[in-house]
Amino acid sequence: MISETAKIGINVRLGENVVIEDNVVIGDNVVIGHNVVIRKDTVIGEGCVIGDNTVLGKKPFKASASATTDEKELPPLVLGKYVTIGANCVIYRGAVLHDFVFVGDLASIREDVEIGEYTIVGRGVAVENKTKIGKYVKIETNAYITAISTIEDYCFIAPNVTFTNDNFLGRTEERKKYFKGPTLKKGARIGASSTILPGIVIAEDTLIAAGSVVTKDTNPRKIYMGVPAREYKDVPPEQLLENQLYYKG
């Protein structure tokens, strides 16, 4: 089904059973796989690739007990140029993915999320609402980015990392005053299966070793490890972001 009000550019390839709702805008040279659903008002830039069975522009459902999902009118989902979305992904209305973002299969990206240029969101990653992610970030398989988090440019998040935003674990109304996910400053790196507690600030070029639990803010250019994580030593000069060939400043 393709709405009569949809605007579709030239050289767009559509798979079988594609649904395109009212006022969708699709740029030139876009490839859309089988069974894709594109909800109303969604904007897809030129050169994008959308994998099979993906849903774009979904409106959030609010659970009765949800403390972070707002009931409000959201702007359309916007995909920049040359964005790639894998198979079986759900990208919500109110998200903005800038040029050359790559999203792996089975990922979920909620409303009020912004993702910068050239960032990679890996297979099975969940990015919750009210989160901002910078450019040239890499988030690997099955990481969980909780609501109200900030990830600045050039950060690296290894598989199975967990962000948290509720120190009260769902108890008391007071908790709603303090909801806040972690903040990762530019170039921070988080090792596999680490957990970052609510509101923690990971400083620039901090390295968190695999399996750590971070309970306090960190200092820049230091390695932290353990449960709870403690400062171990300096990040080696050759690993600092400023010394990487791919760093653009």
In the chain, domain spans: 1-59+75-123, 137-243
Q: What is the pLDDT of residue 172?
A: 82
Residue 67: pLDDT band with limits 50, 70, 90: low
For 159, the token pair is 């598989």
The answer to whether domain 1-59+75-123 and domain 137-243 are alike in fold is yes
pLDDT above 70: percentage of residues in the chain: 97
CA dihedral sign, ordered 211, 215, 221, 224? negative
Beta bridge partners of 102: 84, 120
Between these two residues, 68 and 75, which has the higher pLDDT value?
75
**pLDDT(206) > 80:** yes
CA dihedral sign, ordered 123, 88, 37, 75? negative
Answer yes or no: are the C-beta atoms of 29 and 46 closer than 8 Å: yes
**pLDDT(68) > 70:** no
Residue 187: pLDDT band with limits 50, 70, 90: very high
The domain 137-243: what is its CATH number? 2.160.10.10
Residue 66: pLDDT band with limits 50, 70, 90: low
User: What are the φ/ψ torsions at residue 94 (nearest 5 degrees)?
Assistant: 90, 0
Q: What is the pLDDT of residue 65?
A: 60
Between these two residues, 177 and 132, which has the higher pLDDT value?
132
pLDDT digits 0-9 by tens, 141-164: 999 999 999 999 999 999 999 999
Calpha distance 208→188 (Å, rounded): 8
**pLDDT(202) > 90:** yes
Tell me what the mean pLDDT of segment 176-195 comes to: 95
Quote the pTM value.
Answer: 0.94
pLDDT digits 0-9 by tens, 11-54: 999 999 999 999 999 999 999 999 999 999 999 999 999 999 99
Query: What superfamily in CATH does domain 1-59+75-123 come from?
Result: Hexapeptide repeat proteins (2.160.10.10)
Tell me what the mean pLDDT of segment 197-222 comes to: 98
Using alpha carbons only, give the angle 39, 97, 77 rounded to the nearest 5 degrees: 20
**pLDDT(214) > 80:** yes
Average pLDDT, whole number, for the chain? Answer: 95
Question: Quick one: how far is CA 103 from the chain centroid?
Answer: 9
Tell me what the mean pLDDT of segment 171-189 comes to: 91
Calpha distance 120→140 (Å, rounded): 8
